[in-house]
């Protein structure tokens, strides 16, 4: 298989990380006749290799970081969960071997337009919204990437499909030739500082999304986010804004989102009321999705009805129950402080009982201070970061050290009154007490539904 990084033939490749992305990349390479050595720090009993266990063209080196492997491979494909600072990755780069992300490998085989979506928050919602708008406009669509289905698992198939791809900083930090025809950066806030060295390194990974775009491509940027609005890109820049008029893109004019095009003028796209999922951030997500869909050639006439049908994501401001006038929301997918800030803005002042905490990814909980003072009537602190968050917000509102979701739900059920909201929006990763944000959210929903109505 010819690869562009060194214009060489790949015959034997290491795939580092055998989760969903790594396994999808392995199967893609094997379908092209490339031998694969799978590398993972986990042991065999922790992995499910499926059909690959019987594939003579696949070997697995597990439980270590085998640098001696470098003499017998042509390149390395890394999964998003693998840090580029792993010794094997560092040694491969020093040896001059190509080291590429799974999404970069898959991009080579995507026989159709590719839309890339990144940002600190809102990626999954915007990805799904964009996919739904394009489907409503008659396009064949694949929704993939960080949202749960690797791009490598979707590239084989009918030509001409639009690949709407959610992209994390982990995926983007190792891309080289990746070029989306339309790409969006939704917002930027401190996140994943436990992986990236600092905020600038995190931002640099995000900016990689635009590096290979050309003047015929489109970059969609948030005009209300100062850092994002200032991003210099080679593509046409189109902006979205809730707060001000833009010269090229779309903005909120009263209750109507209006598109402005320097060549075709000004025309409506949809109304604020067409977006059924709550919160001003979801209006922004819809604006970005509309601009991305327009870049692919979608007719905006279908946008209002398509958005009205959008149900949102599980565990992202998902309404769970209304019990005795108290509404419970599962926002377990909010794994950084900026996500919780955006969620809180959609609720009435002083109405929220907020369950927060988990494993901090390096953010500063003090950024919650102002919005918590306005929106929250009581805090319930859980997980590893409970003490840290409690200290940062001491004296802002009443708080209690709940420790676990069970205790937090019971306490909130006792205290919350009619017209108030109980919101699980942890601001943190789940890995201190759960395997994933989804498992955490599912547990929360079980606990809520188990309360006496």
Q: What is the model's pLDDT at position 83?
A: 87
User: Are 213 and 287 in a shared domain?
Assistant: yes
Return the pLDDT at 64: 87
- 121, 123, 282, 333: the active-site residue: 123
For residue 165, count CB atoms less than 10 angstroms from its CB and return exposed for 0-12, middle for 13-18, buried for 19 or more: buried
Residues 449 and 443: their CA atoms lie apart, in Å, by 10
Q: Are residues 301 and 323 in the same domain?
A: no
Residue 264 within a domain:
yes
Return the closest-CA partner of residue 335 out of 352, 308, 357, 354: 357
What CATH number is associated with residue 300? 3.40.1190.10
How far from 97 is each of 6, 17, 173, 199, 245, CA to CA, in Å?
9, 17, 17, 28, 48
pLDDT for 197 equals 58
Residue 29 in domain: yes
- Tell me: do 152 and 251 sit in the same domain: yes
Q: Which of 121, 146, 187, 336 is catalytic?
A: 146
Q: What is the DSSP string of 127-140?
A: HHHHHHHHHHTT--
**CA neighbor of 146 nearest in space, from 65, 216, 75, 205:** 205
Decide if 146 is catalytic.
Answer: yes
- With vertex at residue 184, the alpha carbon angle to CA 182 and CA 190, rounded to the nearest 5 degrees, is 155
260 and 330 inside one domain = no
Same domain, 322 and 357: yes
User: Which among 43, 70, 102 is the end of a domain?
Assistant: 102
- Same domain? For 114 and 77 the reply is no
Do 244 and 346 fall within a single domain? no
**Catalytic residue at 192?**
yes
- What pLDDT is recorded for position 194? 53
Crossing angle (nearest 10°) for helices 280-295 and 123-136:
50
Asked whether residue 256 falls in the same domain as residue 362, the answer is no
Considering the domain architecture, whether residues 114 and 98 belong to the same structural domain is answered as: no
User: Active-site residue 336, yes or no?
Assistant: no
151 lies in the same domain as 299: yes
Instruction: Please give the pLDDT value at position 67.
Output: 86
What is the signed CA dihedral for 168, 169, 171, 176, rounded to 10 degrees? 130
Last residue of a domain, one of 308, 329, 353: 308
The verdict on residue 445 lying in a domain is yes
Give a yes or no: residue 426 inside a domain.
Answer: yes
**What is the number of domains present in the chain?**
3
pLDDT, residue 196, reads 43
Q: Which two tokens stand for residue 99?
A: 């080291």
Integer angstrom CA distances of residue 279 from 227, 286, 296: 22, 11, 26
In a domain, 44, yes or no: yes
- Identify the CATH number of the domain in which residue 342 sits: 3.90.190.20
**Would you say residue 149 lies in a domain?**
yes
Residues 6+ apart with CB under 8 A from 265: none
160 and 234 in a single domain? The answer is yes
Look at residue 313 and tell me if it is in a domain: no
> What domain range includes position 337?
318-449
Look at the block and give the residue holding tokens 């050290």: 401
pLDDT in tens, 170-229: 899 889 899 999 999 999 875 544 544 556 788 888 999 999 999 999 999 999 999 999
How much is the pLDDT for 199? 65
In 10 A of CB 411, how many CB atoms?
17
Catalytic pick among 121, 135, 187, 192 = 192
CA dist 393 to 69, 191, 357, 388, Å?
49, 19, 12, 9
- 220 with 118, same domain? yes
- Would you state the pLDDT for residue 198? 58
The CATH number given to whatever domain includes residue 11 is 3.40.50.720
Element (DSSP H or E) covering residue 78 = strand 75-78
Contacts of range 268-276, beta carbons closer than 8 Å, 24 or more positions apart: 268/300, 269/300, 269/303, 270/300, 270/303, 270/304, 270/307, 271/304, 274/303, 274/304, 274/307, 274/308, 275/307, 275/310, 276/307, 276/308, 276/310, 276/311, 276/312
Boundary (domain end) residue, out of 308, 337, 366: 308
Q: What is the pTM of this model?
A: 0.85
- Distances, alpha carbon 216 to alpha carbons 175, 186, 212, 229, 322, in Å: 20, 21, 11, 19, 49
Q: Which residues does the chain have with pLDDT short of 70?
A: 6-7, 190-199, 453
- pLDDT, one tens digit per residue, over 51-109 is 999 999 999 999 988 888 998 999 999 999 898 889 999 999 999 999 999 999 999 99
Using CA atoms, how far apart are residues 321 and 327, in angstroms rounded to an integer?
6
Residue 55 domain-assigned (yes or no): yes
DSSP string, 392-405: HTTTTSEEEEEESH
């Amino acid at each position: 298989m010819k690869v562009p990084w060194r214009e060489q033939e790949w015959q034997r490749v290491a795939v580092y990380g055998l989760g969903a992305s790594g396994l999808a990349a392995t199967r893609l390479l094997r379908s092209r006749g490339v031998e694969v050595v799978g590398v993972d720090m986990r042991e065999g009993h922790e992995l499910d290799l499926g059909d690959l266990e019987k594939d003579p063209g696949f070997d697995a080196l597990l439980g270590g970081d085998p640098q001696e492997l470098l003499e017998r491979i042509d390149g390395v494909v890394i999964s998003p969960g693998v840090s580029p600072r792993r010794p094997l990755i560092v040694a491969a780069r020093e040896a001059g071997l190509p080291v590429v992300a799974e999404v970069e490998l898959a991009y080579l085989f995507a026989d159709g337009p590719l839309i890339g979506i990144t940002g600190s928050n809102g990626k999954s919602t915007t990805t799904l919204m964009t996919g739904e708008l394009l489907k409503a406009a008659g396009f064949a669509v694949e929704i993939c990437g960080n949202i749960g289905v690797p791009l490598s698992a979707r590239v084989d198939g009918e030509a001409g499909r639009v690949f709407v791809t959610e992209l994390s900083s982990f995926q983007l930090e190792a891309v080289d030739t990746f070029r989306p025809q339309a790409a969006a950066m939704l917002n930027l806030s401190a996140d994943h500082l436990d992986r990236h060295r600092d905020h600038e390194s995190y931002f640099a990974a995000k900016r990689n999304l635009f590096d290979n775009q050309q003047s015929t491509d489109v970059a969609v940027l948030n005009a209300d986010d100062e850092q994002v609005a200032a991003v210099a890109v080679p593509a046409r820049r189109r902006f979205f804004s809730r707060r001000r008029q833009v010269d090229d893109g779309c903005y909120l004019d009263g209750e109507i989102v209006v598109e402005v095009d320097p060549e075709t003028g000004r025309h409506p796209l949809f109304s604020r009321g067409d977006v059924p999922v709550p919160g001003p951030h979801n209006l922004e997500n819809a604006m970005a999705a509309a601009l991305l869909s327009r870049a692919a050639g979608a007719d905006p006439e279908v946008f209002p009805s398509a958005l009205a049908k959008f149900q949102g994501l599980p565990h992202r401001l998902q309404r769970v129950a209304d019990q005795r006038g108290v509404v419970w929301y599962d926002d377990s997918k909010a794994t950084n402080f900026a996500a919780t800030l955006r969620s809180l803005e959609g609720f009435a002042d002083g109405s929220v009982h907020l369950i927060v905490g988990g494993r901090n990814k390096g953010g500063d909980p003090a950024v919650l201070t102002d919005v918590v003072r306005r929106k929250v009537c009581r805090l319930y602190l859980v997980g590893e970061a409970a003490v840290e968050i409690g200290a940062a917000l001491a004296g802002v509102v009443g708080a209690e050290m709940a420790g676990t979701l069970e205790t937090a739900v019971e306490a909130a059920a006792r205290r919350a009154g009619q017209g108030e909201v109980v919101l699980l929006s942890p601001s943190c990763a789940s890995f201190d007490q759960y395997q994933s944000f989804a498992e955490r959210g599912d547990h929360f929903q079980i606990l809520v539904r188990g309360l006496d109505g």
